[in-house]
């Protein structure tokens, strides 16, 4: 009961503070953007409309926002997190893979957290918005090029890279005819489903080798290869060097640019 009374008192005081805050904003002639105005930028991002987004970003530089912090830098950082959190979710709803969108959000927030000036945060904001928009543009181009069945197959593969995937297992899960799916996929993508699965697993392995310290045995197991030797042989055939040589050559040399 004591905690409940405390909560009610906090809410009551917040209500009083809100009334005073809204009155002050009116006195200062500050007007929040409408919901449609706020959402318009995210619509441009999800549509992949790069040109229109660039025009929006130019106007956005001189926009006035309500005060969130006494520190101009902290103010800008709060705004950045607010925007990227919303943008991330809008893009997922529009078709971007959730792990890609959330991962991108995490990396940009970490980069932004290292910024030491308002201008750096503003530049990061513009880069982030354009990055999401370009990814959505690429996504839409792919959607226009591939049939819904092929896209569903691609999505299934992307979400099950840690499993041992076969054409039959995909067809079963997606309730499709395996022979028809294989023919359609090969015709549209230019490679067989098995080749596509291998390319995706190798790409995932390259990421793990360059950004983590997992052993080759762990990576092989994680990506659903029967043995480490099978993984190593396939990787070497695909990349021209063994997994261990690849790690030695590229370990964290690319990823570091995301976390400086």
Residue 210's Cβ-side half-sphere holds a number of Cα atoms within 13 Å equal to 15
Percent of all residues in the chain with a pLDDT value above 90, rounded to a whole number:
52
The DSSP call for residue 32 is P
Predicted pLDDT of residue 257: 41
pTM: 0.54
Distance (Å, whole) CA 14 – CA 40: 30
Highest mean pLDDT among 89-98, 108-117, 197-206: 108-117
pLDDT tens for residues 211-258?
Answer: 778 899 999 999 999 899 999 999 999 999 999 999 988 886 544 443
Condensed to tens digits (0 to 9), the pLDDT of residues 172-225 reads 999 999 999 999 999 999 999 999 999 989 988 988 888 778 899 999 999 999
pLDDT at 260: 39
DSSP, collapsed to helix, strand or coil, labels residue 28 as coil
CB 84 within 8 A of CB 108: yes
Residues 6+ apart with CB under 8 A from 184: 147, 149, 150
Cβ neighbours of residue 144 closer than 8 Å, sequence gap 6 or more? none
Higher pLDDT, 36 or 40: 40
- For the cut 80, the answer to whether the pLDDT of residue 259 exceeds it is no
pLDDT higher than 70, residue 5: no
Shortest CA distance to 115 belongs to which of 60, 84, 76? 76
Q: Contact, 96 vs 12, CB < 8 A?
A: no
| pLDDT of 62 above 90 | no
The span from the CA of 39 to the CA of 147, in Å, is 30
Q: Give the Cα separation of 16 and 35 in Å (integer).
A: 25
Q: How far apart are CA 243 and CA 235, in angstroms?
A: 6
Contact between 75 and 68 under an 8 Å Cβ cutoff? The reply is yes
As given in the structure block, the two tokens for residue 54 are: 């660039």
Confidence band (pLDDT; 50, 70, 90) for 158? confident
């Amino acid at each position: 009961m004591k905690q409940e009374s405390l909560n009610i008192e906090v809410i009551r005081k917040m209500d009083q503070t809100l009334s005073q805050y809204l009155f002050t904003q009116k006195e200062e002639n500050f007007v929040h953007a409408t919901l449609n105005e706020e959402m318009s930028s995210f619509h441009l991002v999800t549509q992949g409309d790069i040109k229109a987004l660039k025009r929006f970003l130019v106007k956005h530089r001189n926009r006035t926002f309500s005060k969130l912090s006494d520190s101009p830098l902290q103010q800008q950082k709060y705004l950045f997190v607010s925007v990227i959190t919303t943008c991330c979710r809008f893009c997922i709803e529009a078709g971007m893979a959730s792990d890609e969108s959330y991962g991108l959000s995490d990396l940009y927030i970490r980069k932004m957290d290292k910024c030491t000036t308002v201008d750096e945060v503003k530049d990061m904001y513009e880069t982030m918005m354009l990055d999401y928009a370009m990814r959505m543009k690429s996504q839409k181009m792919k959607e226009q090029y591939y049939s819904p069945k092929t896209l569903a197959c691609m999505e299934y593969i992307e979400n099950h890279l840690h499993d041992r995937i076969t054409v039959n297992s995909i067809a079963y899960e997606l309730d499709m005819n395996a022979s028809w799916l294989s023919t359609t996929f090969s015709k549209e993508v230019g490679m067989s489903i098995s080749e596509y699965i291998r390319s995706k697993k190798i790409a995932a392995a390259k990421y793990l080798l360059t950004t983590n310290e997992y052993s080759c045995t762990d990576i092989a197991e994680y990506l659903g290869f029967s043995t480490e030797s099978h993984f190593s042989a396939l990787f070497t055939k695909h990349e021209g060097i063994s997994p261990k040589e690849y790690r030695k050559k590229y370990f964290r040399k690319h990823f570091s640019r995301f976390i400086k």
